[in-house]
Amino acid sequence: MQRRILSRELPTVPPGETVTLAGWIHRRRQLASVSFLVLRDRSGLAQVVARSDDEIACVASLPEETVVEVTGRIVANEAAPGGVEVVEPRITALTEPAATPPVELWRPELTASLPTLLDHAAVTLRHPKLRARAQLAAASLRGLRCRLGELDFTEIQTPKLVEMATESGANVFEVDYFGRTAYLAQSPQLFKQMMVGVHERVFEVGPVFRAEPHDTVRHLAQYTSIDVELGFIRDHRDVLAVLREAVAAMVSGISDYAGDAASLLDVTLPVVPQEIPVIHFADALALVGAPADEPDLEPAHERALSEWALAEHGSDFLAVEGYPMAKRPFYTHPQPDDGRWSNSFDLLFRGLELTTGGQRLHRPSDYRAALARTGQDPAAYTAYLEAFEHGMPPHGGFAIGLERWVGRLVEAPNIREVTLFPRDLHRLAP
Amino acid sequence: MQRRILSRELPTVPPGETVTLAGWIHRRRQLASVSFLVLRDRSGLAQVVARSDDEIACVASLPEETVVEVTGRIVANEAAPGGVEVVEPRITALTEPAATPPVELWRPELTASLPTLLDHAAVTLRHPKLRARAQLAAASLRGLRCRLGELDFTEIQTPKLVEMATESGANVFEVDYFGRTAYLAQSPQLFKQMMVGVHERVFEVGPVFRAEPHDTVRHLAQYTSIDVELGFIRDHRDVLAVLREAVAAMVSGISDYAGDAASLLDVTLPVVPQEIPVIHFADALALVGAPADEPDLEPAHERALSEWALAEHGSDFLAVEGYPMAKRPFYTHPQPDDGRWSNSFDLLFRGLELTTGGQRLHRPSDYRAALARTGQDPAAYTAYLEAFEHGMPPHGGFAIGLERWVGRLVEAPNIREVTLFPRDLHRLAP
């Protein structure tokens, strides 16, 4: 058997040579005296031309999505993908003839309803445009991890089964844990902070779980959280500087490893400014004409602020710092000169909140006071508090939802469209 | 404030210059007229020397693990780590004086019991030897991901909440999923196979869950599984070739990114042969003198086989192929010339099974037959079977337990010693 080459390698093969391709039959077109077969492999599409009666009969017998191996001769054809096509093919099926797919995967656009796409995800995800979305996610992570490695971050894995529903108490999944009740972790927040005490700079990319009881286009019961945390910062601005590096690396990752996918999806990659513009929460409220005592930004405010950042700073990104302490979790570090505000931020990306981050408390006495203030029992935080009692540096971090990042890039109206096998209030399969 | 430098950068600073370090007070030694302070940061240790009364008083006031910033002058001292030390220090505490740690972190070896180490993990993981283990894990993953990227593998994230306890039925955790019962995924096996239909080559690094009711040194309720799956293989030997690349990349990752950690732990990195030696299961039984109808290898057999591979092939790795079909999961591909055996393998590493892998079935008719043979309801596998009905290439893959890999490298007697925050029958915190 000849070594298989990929469709993307075809243009590098001298015309006249014989090659072997393998992949799925993406499409067939049977004309009067010739049949075209478009083969799909992990690298793209290749055109195969059948002219003899035997070749045409063979193509006719193999439905779309059948997996085949094709050996044939390369000839130049400007109209074919990559400028070459394969002629005089010997086609061998590697499996049984495929059943008719639930949607026509060869059509440039998928018009099926979202439930249909999700119910048949094992097949519909093969569509080049859905596949490309998954490639954006993978390439973003590849770029990100590389950069975090350069910046001396250590990747960690933390427990997803936890004893206490500590961080918010609401919307947690209960697990029968050898007869006791455990909970699925809503975030690795407490663990990543503890691990700053070990490695100074840590990150985790993993599943987080929210028993979100509402059926919205933005929420999933499981999503992929990119969690980063670092020590020895001055304040949240140092965290923002690392977030800037992280986002820039995700964009470079896409350029480097998924450029074709980005083109196919017409994604305009954002330019990440050397320094992300920052506005204070109080100024943000004033800018959008909201009352000065609003505790949070409405979606319409976020959109208006993003438009302002683009017009004023030419940036797709805007950090809003100083969110009211009252709306932030107990471990949030206050703004030193005015305790109503916090040293935390949201990063807006094209009108949507992409990330929440900021400086955390690091003094044990501050933790004791924060828990008392929020009416929480320190006993629920024994291991976490131990880290602070034994010396923790000033630190902070952020979390990016991977699906949210890809969703905003491709302007998906529903987060489920950028999740391989989404989980929500109603959906637990496939 | 002067820019902080890391302890590992100290030898590059010309003597006489003033630098700022930051980290944890790892150890203090107070002699008659001088105090030594060893500072620990993410890159290693640095020696600080206090000579004036004020300096000595300052060192005396700051207990071990307090986080400090130290500004001082560099002088050469062959006896100090890196050949230099910091004199005339100005020491500023960045937090409150630390409480006395539950174990003496400055001692070269930790002698505390495992429960003590695990109960206080947030602090004990700071010990350089425990920290180094975590660095081996992170560096292994870094090398691995890089290589898999080069080999065109796409990283995926799959659901950890699933509808059916399909793969084995036993030892699954039940979750209250919006009033229904869901299960925590025991492996991404079915999903990664489906995703071969999309990307051809996929991998996932993520948590898997086993409700392991026995208290052993080898089992965890959650561990990190490195799952790899690829299409368009001839048989399991192509899978083994990729596994060889994966293991070699994990070893290179350690050399490249955690060489100091490996030295500190006295880890002898394995040489990964260009081709991993293979023995058939039947020959393996004969070699260790076991009856020919044994369905599995005993731990003692695995050790004997590893010794044989080292003596015979000079290899720390040995693949045992052809495991009896009766002991393998339903999706296992049989050995074409003898259906009693399978196209699957275990990879032994220094006497321990590190990985199970092999070729899977890919024809839908074979799946129907396999489910019927094993008495399973195809309705439980609707989405999975759909992938095969619509064309799947010959494929296979493997899974490596990250903790098991590190555990064998450092010869940890208990898998909990190489897990940040282990979960087991009794332990759900920290």
User: In chain B, which among 124-153 make CB contacts under 8 A with chain A?
Assistant: 125-126, 131, 134-135, 137-138, 141-142, 145-146, 149, 152
DSSP string of A177-205, one letter each residue: ETTEEEEE-S-SHHHHHHHHHHHSEEEEE
pLDDT of res. A9: 96
Looking at the complex, report in whole angstroms how far the Cα of residue B15 sits from the nearest Cα belonging to chain A: 25
Distances (CA, A) of A46 to A2, A6, A70, B59: 18, 9, 10, 71
Residues A88 and A127 in one domain: no
Q: Which letter does DSSP use for residue A101 in this model? A: P
- Calculate mean pLDDT across residues A174-195: 96
Partner residue opposite A98 with nearest CB, options B42, B101, B390: B390
Residues B343 and B241 in one domain: yes
* CATH number of domain containing B202: 3.30.930.10
pLDDT over 90, % of chain B: 95
User: In chain A, which among 15-44 make CB contacts under 8 A with chain B?
Assistant: 22, 24-25, 41-43
User: Given CB atoms, is B96 within the 8 Å cutoff of chain A?
Assistant: yes
Residues B339 and B196 in one domain: yes
Looking at the complex, report in whole angstroms how far the Cα of residue A356 sits from the nearest Cα belonging to chain B: 22
Instruction: Tell whether A427 is covered by a domain.
Output: no
Instruction: Give the model confidence (pLDDT) of B248-305 as tens digits.
Output: 999 999 999 999 999 999 999 999 999 999 999 999 999 999 999 999 999 999 999 9
Instruction: Tell whether B278 is covered by a domain.
Output: yes
Looking at the complex, report in whole angstroms how far the Cα of residue A22 sits from the nearest Cα belonging to chain B: 8
Q: Which letter does DSSP use for residue A210 in this model? A: -
Q: Which sign does the torsion angle of CA B129, B130, B132, B137 carry?
A: positive
Examine the pLDDT at B1 and tell me if it is beyond 90: no
Which residues of chain B make contact with A99, given a CB cutoff of 8 A?
389-390
Question: How many Cα atoms within 13 Å fall on the side-chain side of residue A402?
Answer: 32
User: Given CB atoms, is A363 within the 8 Å cutoff of chain B?
Assistant: yes
pLDDT of res. B169: 62
Instruction: Tell whether A166 is covered by a domain.
Output: yes
Instruction: Tell whether B1 is covered by a domain.
Output: no
Are B261 and B248 within 8 A, CB to CB? no
Q: Which letter does DSSP use for residue B293 in this model? A: T
Search chain B and give the residue with CA nearest A69: B232
Residues A84 and A137 in one domain: no
Is the CB of B365 less than 8 angstroms away from the CB of A135? no
pLDDT of res. B334: 98
Looking at the complex, report in whole angstroms how far the Cα of residue A304 sits from the nearest Cα belonging to chain B: 33
Residues B355 and B398 in one domain: yes
Q: B321: which 2 tokens?
A: 């192929």
pLDDT of res. B214: 86
Element holding B321 (H helix, E strand): strand B317-321
Residues A160 and A274 in one domain: yes
Residues A63 and A171 in one domain: no
Candidates A95, A131, A183, A250: best to mutate against B (most CBs of B within 10 A) is A95
Which residues of chain B make contact with A390, given a CB cutoff of 8 A?
65, 98-99, 101, 122-123
Annotated binding site: which residue ranges of B? 167, 210-212, 218-220, 353, 356, 360, 401-404
Sequence-separated (6 or more) residues with CB below 8 Å from residue A112? A102, A103, A124
Q: Structurally, how many domains does chain B consist of?
A: 2
Largest CA distance in chain B: 84
pLDDT of res. A18: 97
Residues B87 and B131 in one domain: no
Is the CB of B207 less than 8 angstroms away from the CB of A160? yes
- Calculate mean pLDDT across residues B237-241: 98
Is A210 annotated as contributing to ligand binding? yes
pLDDT of res. A157: 98
Characterize the bridge pairing of strands A222-231 and A278-280. unpaired
User: Given CB atoms, is A94 within the 8 Å cutoff of chain B?
Assistant: yes
Nearest to A419 by CA among B160, B159, B161: B159
Instruction: Tell whether A116 is covered by a domain.
Output: no
Instruction: Give the model confidence (pLDDT) of B297-340 as tens digits.
Output: 999 999 999 999 999 999 999 999 999 999 999 999 999 999 99
pLDDT band for position B209 (50/70/90)?
very high
pLDDT of res. A162: 96
Beta bridge partners of A400: A226, A355
Residues B44 and B153 in one domain: no
Cβ atoms < 10 Å from Cβ of B187: 19
User: Given CB atoms, is A158 within the 8 Å cutoff of chain B?
Assistant: yes
CA angle, B278 then B279 then B284, to 5°: 150
Examine the fold and report which residue of A75, A93, A111 is the final residue of a domain before the chain moves on: A93
* CATH number of domain containing B73: 2.40.50.140
Residues A346 and A217 in one domain: yes
What residue numbers bound the domain in which B51 lies?
A: 7-93
Candidates A162, A208, A390: best to mutate against B (most CBs of B within 10 A) is A390
DSSP string of A336-358, one letter each residue: TTEEEEESEEEEEETTEEEEEEE
Nearest to B335 by CA among B347, B322, B345: B322
Instruction: Tell whether A64 is covered by a domain.
Output: yes
Instruction: Give the model confidence (pLDDT) of B21-52 as tens digits.
Output: 999 999 999 999 999 999 999 999 999 999 99
Return the axis-axis angle of helices A299-313 and A281-288, rounded to nearest 10°: 100
Sequence-separated (6 or more) residues with CB below 8 Å from residue A188? A156, A158, A204, A206, A208, A225, A227
Search chain A and give the residue with CA nearest B194: A122
Residues B323 and B225 in one domain: yes
Are B358 and B345 within 8 A, CB to CB? yes
Residues A168 and A74 in one domain: no
Cβ atoms < 10 Å from Cβ of A259: 13
Instruction: Tell whether B141 is covered by a domain.
Output: yes
Tell me the CA end-to-end span of chain A in Å, nearest whole number.
37
Measured distance CA(B298)–CA(B291) in Å, rounded: 12
Measured distance CA(A302)–CA(A300) in Å, rounded: 5
Q: B273: which 2 tokens?
A: 């042969």
Which residues of chain A make contact with B95, given a CB cutoff of 8 A?
362-364, 388, 391-394
User: Given CB atoms, is B256 within the 8 Å cutoff of chain A?
Assistant: no
- Calculate mean pLDDT across residues B53-62: 96
pLDDT band for position B173 (50/70/90)?
very high
Instruction: Tell whether A408 is covered by a domain.
Output: yes
Instruction: Give the model confidence (pLDDT) of A342-376 as tens digits.
Output: 999 999 999 999 999 999 999 999 999 999 999 99
Measured distance CA(A166)–CA(A331) in Å, rounded: 12
Q: Which letter does DSSP use for residue B417 in this model? A: G
